[in-house]
Structure 1
Amino acid sequence: MTVFAYGISVLHARLKCFKYMLSVAYKMELQKWRVNEAAYEIRKSTIQKQLRKDVGPIADVVRQGFGTTNDGNTARRFF
């Protein structure tokens, strides 16, 4: 049995791509892997506000006891 016997889940592929794209977008303007925490948080909040305005659902916000708001519906609407 191979690793790809069942194929790749579209849902998980979207979630991972969405998470990675957000990570890159937060650091893109700063152009450093290790960034200043204050500048990172400012950039993150502006991108979250822009996504909220354009796409609709809240992205990459921590929910108490549940993880983040990145779910299948958020990733689907993003793509």
Structure 2
Amino acid sequence: MFAYRPLAASQAAEALAADLSAEQRRGVERYAALVEQMQAESTAILALADEPAKGTIETVSAKSGLELGIEALLRSGRL
């Protein structure tokens, strides 16, 4: 998705392969964990950003009332 993520992950992997003190290794491990967390959160944010496209006026107006009703019931857990 973003070019910096693979770069950040590869930098962390390279750093972990290096000869590090225990404190440096812990710091790099924390950094790597934060990169993973950022990747997961960025993916979730981008998925949420795609959600409005599913409910655009064009998409909704192309559906029948029955289709819209069924979708509403499915979302609410009533079906």
Larger radius of gyration, structure 1 or 2?
2
Provide the TM-score with structure 2 as the length reference. 0.31
- Larger RCO of the pair (alpha carbons < 8 Å, separation 6+): 1
More strand by share: 1
